[in-house]
Amino acid sequence: AQSVTQLGSHVSVSEGALVLLRCNYSSSVPPYLFWYVQYPNQGLQLLLKYTSAATLVKGINGFEAEFKKSETSFHLTKPSAHMSDAAEYFCAVNSGYSTLTFGKGTMLLVSP
């Protein structure tokens, strides 16, 4: 079985501050891990993906995530938040099953 837990349904940061969105996964086999972003009234867009090639993964818009097997985590970070980063972020896992399992999402709020 596979599952994803995202800690915090809402995260608030100031513009220019560090962004940290937490994701922990459960998988019986080595997983593929993903972060998707959803802007208001839009579909989901792939932000970055972990494929076992490197534990630190860089994505679009300055985001990156680090795969930590010992902690079963795949947290998403960005050194400096922009107003345009305000959106909902979803962590997802695929353990070789045919389906992708999403977390419940974390809404990122960025204040000036």
- Chain residues binding other proteins by CB under 8 A are 4, 9, 32, 34, 36, 41-46, 49, 51, 90, 92-94, 96-100, 102-105
Minimum separation from the CB atom of position 33 to other proteins (A): 8
Minimum separation from the CB atom of position 19 to other proteins (A): 19
In this complex, which beta carbon is closest to other proteins, that of residue 41 or of residue 70?
41
In this complex, which beta carbon is closest to other proteins, that of residue 17 or of residue 100?
100
Residue 59 amino acid letter: G
Minimum separation from the CB atom of position 43 to other proteins (A): 3
| Residue with the two structure tokens 């353990």 | 95
Minimum separation from the CB atom of position 17 to other proteins (A): 25
φ, ψ of residue 50 to 5 degrees: the values are: -105, 125
Residue 61 amino acid letter: N
- CA 45, CA 82: separation in Å to the nearest integer? 18
6 DSSP 8-state letter: E
Q: Does the CA dihedral 35-39-40-43 come out positive or negative?
A: negative
In this complex, which beta carbon is closest to other proteins, that of residue 12 or of residue 45?
45
- CA 18, CA 63: separation in Å to the nearest integer? 11
In this complex, which beta carbon is closest to other proteins, that of residue 18 or of residue 109?
109
